Chain A
């Protein structure tokens, strides 16, 4: 039983170890990462210190006081230090002698002797901005030194700021990193948060422990004591600007996480939870009252400040964290005031720009615009005087258009000649010209100089900075745009007036031209209609001729039959009477019945080849002779000739009582009559079909779209063209295709055209293949002939309107141009390919038929 448990126990142990090791490792990685962040945080802090010092070194009041009244510098430094990062701020004169020193609130002053001389001071006295991390005495500090340089580029002094890496800064870092922080000098703990939990360990002891931990495999720092604080630590070195090592930052992550995990593995989770809950509740009850009172005061203070009451007193002077918080809050309030003041300056600058921009956008009155530019610019740059000059276009003279601070309430003030010269220089140079107290910037739009802005600063103000130059340029741009806009407005107004007149004139001209155009168009239309009509008539003439010939053939056949029918009928009647005398009534009835039965067969009998006739007649003659019939040869020949050999037994049967010659003659006549009637019938049918086709070809209602089988029209056309098709073999490859919606007569013209062309191409010999097929929602018809083909130089032009290779009036063609128009009007397309022995026209037609609007418009045009 116990042995069975071993694997389980091992597995649990492995899981436990893996979890804990992972956790430990991830803590170590996080600690290292946090050390990196701490370093970047410190460097950020360094930059902030440097920026503050530089800003202070550029302050005009500092430069002035250092030059004129060094005794007033300390007050200025004290005032300034209040709004700077907690630091010791020093100002030295140009010889390096300290003239003022002040502690920013919260800055612990390092021992005084550390603040004299030093590399930073030397560097700054040599005009160099210097910043470093340095070990000064027992401390590690950020030190920034900046020279104070006046307008003459003379050195006036040096500002040095020193920020110690102490407990306070460590506390600030802790707030950001949520980790314990220590600043370690080479062998001294200079600032730390590790000891803030009321632990009894000394700094030296802590440093030893940290050093030991950092040297171990797993950098775990144990602070000992009852609350067994354990931290995973990581360190990152700090170096001076010269690359010397000055210490390090140590970051410690609480191992609580790790410890809890271990406990969790050892004890029941629930139990731990209950204990934690119990402790929390007890703690809250016990310490609640102690904390609430100052907390609520702080709360009131914050609320008051949120409402804007900065002066609300915060009389919390406890020694604990809340007291600390209140004091920081107070400092923050001071800093906030300072920042707010700066922000207000910036906002006013921005809003001025915005205001100017907006005003310029809305005001069209130029002088008002320019007045705004000079007033606002002199306000923002705090210049004494400002003038805006514009170039007179005709002679290039500079005229004063707007000014600020030049006086001259009555009439325009006189400009100093230096101003004019500088303005002229700026214009000539397309740029900024700076001349002592004056700055000139040209007004320019799209490379055209319009004038210049000239500014004069008060003698006691610093020189124009690059930012000021930039701002002046921006204003100049605005003013130039305004001047140009005003000019453009005038030009546009003049132009638009001229434009209106021009437009009227042109409109009249256009109207006239339009009338002319319309007339020409209608004339053209008429001509076109005429042309089409004559083409059609020509085609029709040719058609009529064909049709007439077509009708002639059957009517000729009828005529032929009709001419001989009466005589044959007479002879038949005579023979009938003669036989009636010879035969009994019964025999006569039988004979008539037999003949009547035989008539349709006789009518269908065609002409047989003579050899065949002779062979059959000879056989019949033998049979007849054997039966004792006289003149058997002649009878046999006659019977065979009219296809009535099968009536021979009937002739033999009647031979006793009648003359066989008469019977055969009767049969012969009867056959002749039957054939005549058949011929008339056939001819008549043909005529009827032709008439039908003609009616179908030229549809009664040309405007109606009719749903038809595409082959109907083709067949109709073939019927009409029947006579021309002699010698041409037709191959029909009709597939099942949907019905299509067409203008019947127009489409028939297309088929006529295509088929006629094919027939003509074949010159009485060849094959025309007509194929229908379905292609998507289109029906296609392909008409192919194996004629000589269309010459390649002609092929591209065959669809051109009125193009023809044939003399006018020949054939039925309305021209392939018209054919294409008709197909296109049906929403279809026509294509051709041709080579010798193969010419193929393919017509595609949509099943849906022509689009309604298209159909109408086409119809109107054609």
Chain B
């Protein structure tokens, strides 16, 4: 009797143990990721939001990749490349043995197709949604297949940021479709890619990706990725807390401390290649006078703005380039917060406001501006203190962009998230006269300085990194002297993540490479 009882106990224990073990060792195979809005499209260049970029970059790969940690240019679908001495002719040797998700081989034809349909508005498979990205391929004058795995691209002029432009997600390579017949809607909406994940299902508010078992590179660790659009930030937070979500983008500042206090969650932080700034409209009085612009730079309390308007999750900016960009320099003129000096400067100009100046601000929070109206109010208060009355003009983000693009403002708040970590992407886009055309200006200070222009153009065409850096250093110094902006802050990103998920890193444009995620 004793014997049988202990036997029973033993067998039971074994049974339960194996049961438990199975349960414990069963791998988690899916990550559920919440984003604040739905993915626009699975066709890469039809996306303009971070949400779309995040999903698309797992499905399609560009020729070039920017390393998330170092920010350096790495081989993508192009294994190597070279540029001819003229600086305009680029030869790309493609990676061999890569297959598209449908099993067909990847070759130069797909690259030609991808770039052609984006740059040529008359291409039979062009879509009007591509317009936003045409500028990254505009300077390509010729593209030709020189072999099955080689191709040649020619640019109008030597163009240093060329390689980095090829790394932007809209240039993820898609499988070529026959041009002679109309592309089917399904194919147009979800082209075939080569990435570490492929599409499993796509609904309006949910995209499910599964691991590509034939991926050419190191295969992804996680079997499935579920991207869910959850608009309500409280719902995202609740999902994270209760364990139904593994990753949540777009946390509210108020939710961050809760994530920090939760032992099973953590904040995944990443530096952002971005800048938030106050632009002065240099075409108008009083900002056509550099002394007034300098006075404004002394009048704005950036430290307070970073504390109150960013809750400390940012660093004070002194120039347009974030420190993570290689051409960043600290050797430029810095303007300390000094209202007395600002007043003296304004007094020396004899500036006498006849009307309040208009400060334009968006009501919608942006990645680089968590609370824009608050920042605007602080600035208005700062300027009032040095004798400049301010009227705030608050508009939705879309309207704000349109109005400042037309140059209606005296002052405006705006920011920029770098696409590819190239200094040209900041300095040329935001401060060159080429981009100060009324109506579509990115340079909303309408800063027009011929020496700066010369330097920026030269830097674009200079392929030697050291010499480029020198050119950018001089441009940045000049810009700081001329003070068309009050650079405000470079903010950080953070994402709420379950603590047992590893291998995540936020790249500078806020995208996570989930192919490297593991438990």
Q: B-contacting residues of A (Cβ < 8 Å)?
A: 6, 9-10, 13-14, 17-18, 21, 25, 36, 39-40, 43, 46-47, 50, 126-133, 149, 151-153, 236-243, 421-422, 425, 429-436, 463, 466, 469
Assembly CA distance A221 to B361 (angstroms): 60
Q: Is the CB of A21 within 8 A of B12?
A: yes
Q: Using A17-B8, A434-B391, A463-B377 as known contacts, say yes or no to A127 and B307 having CB atoms under 8 A apart.
A: yes
Q: Is the CB of A434 within 8 A of B241?
A: no
Q: Using A126-B307, A430-B395, A435-B356 as known contacts, say yes or no to A237 and B9 having CB atoms under 8 A apart.
A: no
Q: Which of B125-133, B254-262, B466-474, B510-518 contacts A (4 or more CB under 8 A)?
A: B254-262
Assembly CA distance A812 to B326 (angstroms): 100
Q: Is the CB of B262 within 8 A of A43?
A: yes
Q: Is the CB of A152 within 8 A of B381?
A: yes
B409: nearest residue on chain A (CB-CB)? A429
Q: How far is the CB of A288 from chain B (nearest CB, A)?
A: 44
How many residue pairs link A and B with beta carbons under 8 A? The number is 112
Q: Is the CB of A39 within 8 A of B262?
A: yes
Q: Is the CB of A47 within 8 A of B258?
A: yes
Contacting residues of chain B (258-304) with chain A, CB-CB under 8 angstroms: 258, 260-263, 266, 301, 304
Interface centre among A47, A127, A132, A236 (most CB of B within 10 A): A127
Q: Is the CB of A432 within 8 A of B307?
A: no
Q: Is B308 an interface residue (CB 8 A)?
A: yes
Assembly CA distance A561 to B260 (angstroms): 130
Name the A residues within 8 Å of B390 (CB-CB).
Answer: 435
Q: Is the CB of A431 within 8 A of B394?
A: yes
Q: Is the CB of A436 within 8 A of B384?
A: yes
Q: Is the CB of B393 within 8 A of A425?
A: yes
A433: nearest residue on chain B (CB-CB)? B391
Interface centre among A50, A132, A433 (most CB of B within 10 A): A433
Q: How far is the CB of A40 from chain B (nearest CB, A)?
A: 6
Assembly CA distance A18 to B373 (angstroms): 64
Q: Is the CB of A243 within 8 A of B394?
A: no
Name the A residues within 8 Å of B258 (CB-CB).
Answer: 43, 46-47
Q: Using A241-B261, A463-B377 as known contacts, say yes or no to A13 and B8 having CB atoms under 8 A apart.
A: yes
Q: Is B5 an interface residue (CB 8 A)?
A: yes
Q: Is the CB of A425 within 8 A of B311?
A: no
Q: Is the CB of B399 within 8 A of A431?
A: yes
- Taking a contact as CB atoms closer than 8 A, the residue among B263, B394, B395, B408 that contacts A39 in the complex is B263
Q: Is B378 an interface residue (CB 8 A)?
A: yes
Q: Using A13-B5, A466-B363 as known contacts, say yes or no to A422 and B391 having CB atoms under 8 A apart.
A: yes
Besides A128-B311, A434-B392, A436-B384, 5 new A-B residue pairs in contact (Cβ under 8 A), listed by A number: A13-B5, A21-B16, A241-B257, A241-B261, A435-B391
Name the B residues within 8 Å of A36 (CB-CB).
Answer: 243
Name the B residues within 8 Å of A466 (CB-CB).
Answer: 363, 373
The 9 closest A-B pairs by CB, nearest first: A127-B307, A434-B392, A435-B391, A131-B257, A432-B394, A241-B260, A429-B393, A431-B395, A237-B263
Q: How far is the CB of A150 from chain B (nearest CB, A)?
A: 10
Name the A residues within 8 Å of B243 (CB-CB).
Answer: 36
Name the B residues within 8 Å of A237 (CB-CB).
Answer: 263
Assembly CA distance A320 to B278 (angstroms): 64
Q: How far is the CB of A53 from chain B (nearest CB, A)?
A: 12
B382: nearest residue on chain A (CB-CB)? A153
Name the B residues within 8 Å of A50 (CB-CB).
Answer: 254, 257
Q: How far is the CB of B82 from chain A (nearest CB, A)?
A: 48
Q: Is the CB of B263 within 8 A of A238?
A: yes
Q: Is the CB of A40 within 8 A of B307?
A: no
A418: nearest residue on chain B (CB-CB)? B356
Q: Is the CB of A9 within 8 A of B394?
A: no
Q: Is the CB of B355 within 8 A of A429?
A: no
Name the A residues within 8 Å of B242 (CB-CB).
Answer: 40
Q: How far is the CB of A162 from chain B (nearest CB, A)?
A: 15
Q: Is the CB of B307 within 8 A of A9?
A: no
Q: Is the CB of A18 within 8 A of B307?
A: no
- Taking a contact as CB atoms closer than 8 A, the residue among B254, B304, B312, B373 that contacts A153 in the complex is B304
| A/B interface sample: 15 pairs, CB < 8 A | A6-B1, A9-B1, A14-B12, A50-B254, A126-B307, A127-B304, A153-B377, A153-B378, A425-B358, A425-B391, A430-B395, A434-B394, A435-B356, A435-B390, A435-B392
Name the A residues within 8 Å of B389 (CB-CB).
Answer: 435-436
Q: How far is the CB of B317 from chain A (nearest CB, A)?
A: 18
Q: Is B4 an interface residue (CB 8 A)?
A: yes
Name the A residues within 8 Å of B257 (CB-CB).
Answer: 46, 50, 130-132, 241
Q: How far is the CB of B3 from chain A (nearest CB, A)?
A: 11
Q: How far is the CB of B309 from chain A (nearest CB, A)?
A: 10
Q: Is the CB of B373 within 8 A of A6?
A: no
Give 1 or 0 for each of B25-69: 1 = CB within 8 Å of chain A CB.
000000000000000000000000000000000000000000000
Q: Is the CB of B399 within 8 A of A430?
A: yes
Assembly CA distance A132 to B260 (angstroms): 9
Q: Is the CB of A25 within 8 A of B394?
A: no
Q: Is the CB of B393 within 8 A of A43?
A: no
Name the B residues within 8 Å of A149 (CB-CB).
Answer: 308
Q: Is the CB of B16 within 8 A of A25?
A: yes
A434: nearest residue on chain B (CB-CB)? B392
A22: nearest residue on chain B (CB-CB)? B16
Name the B residues within 8 Å of A432 (CB-CB).
Answer: 392-394
- Taking a contact as CB atoms closer than 8 A, the residue among B4, B241, B311, B394 that contacts A43 in the complex is B241
Give 1 or 0 for each of B395-429: 1 = CB within 8 Å of chain A CB.
10001000100001000000000000000000000
Q: Is the CB of A17 within 8 A of B12?
A: yes
Name the B residues within 8 Å of A430 (CB-CB).
Answer: 395, 399
Name the A residues within 8 Å of B301 (CB-CB).
Answer: 153
Assembly CA distance A240 to B16 (angstroms): 37
A47: nearest residue on chain B (CB-CB)? B258
Q: Is the CB of A46 within 8 A of B261?
A: yes
Q: How far is the CB of A179 from chain B (nearest CB, A)?
A: 18
Name the B residues within 8 Å of A469 (CB-CB).
Answer: 394
Name the A residues within 8 Å of B392 (CB-CB).
Answer: 432-435
Q: How far is the CB of B19 from chain A (nearest CB, A)?
A: 9
Q: How far is the CB of B388 from chain A (nearest CB, A)?
A: 12
Assembly CA distance A562 to B385 (angstroms): 143
Q: Is the CB of A429 within 8 A of B395?
A: yes
Assembly CA distance A733 to B298 (angstroms): 109
Name the A residues within 8 Å of B384 (CB-CB).
Answer: 436
Q: Using A240-B261, A466-B373 as known contacts, say yes or no to A421 and B355 having CB atoms under 8 A apart.
A: yes
B380: nearest residue on chain A (CB-CB)? A434
Assembly CA distance A43 to B238 (angstroms): 11
Assembly CA distance A466 to B365 (angstroms): 12
Name the B residues within 8 Å of A239 (CB-CB).
Answer: 260-261, 263
Assembly CA distance A437 to B389 (angstroms): 12
Q: How far is the CB of B119 from chain A (nearest CB, A)?
A: 35
Assembly CA distance A393 to B307 (angstroms): 47
B400: nearest residue on chain A (CB-CB)? A431
Assembly CA distance A348 to B229 (angstroms): 36
Q: Is the CB of A243 within 8 A of B391?
A: no
Name the A residues within 8 Å of B378 (CB-CB).
Answer: 153
A465: nearest residue on chain B (CB-CB)? B373
Q: Using A17-B9, A429-B393, A435-B391 as known contacts, say yes or no to A128 and B399 having CB atoms under 8 A apart.
A: no
Q: Is the CB of B393 within 8 A of A10?
A: no
Name the A residues within 8 Å of B403 (CB-CB).
Answer: 429
Name the A residues within 8 Å of B358 (CB-CB).
Answer: 425, 429, 433
Assembly CA distance A784 to B255 (angstroms): 86
Assembly CA distance A642 to B393 (angstroms): 129
Assembly CA distance A99 to B390 (angstroms): 36
Name the B residues within 8 Å of A131 (CB-CB).
Answer: 257, 261
Q: How far is the CB of B113 from chain A (nearest CB, A)?
A: 42
Assembly CA distance A298 to B373 (angstroms): 52
Assembly CA distance A35 to B392 (angstroms): 50
B312: nearest residue on chain A (CB-CB)? A128
Give 1 or 0 for each of B110-150: 1 = CB within 8 Å of chain A CB.
00000000000000000000000000000000000000000
Assembly CA distance A430 to B9 (angstroms): 80
Assembly CA distance A422 to B254 (angstroms): 34
Q: How far is the CB of B339 from chain A (nearest CB, A)?
A: 12
Assembly CA distance A6 to B3 (angstroms): 12
Name the A residues within 8 Å of B395 (CB-CB).
Answer: 429-431
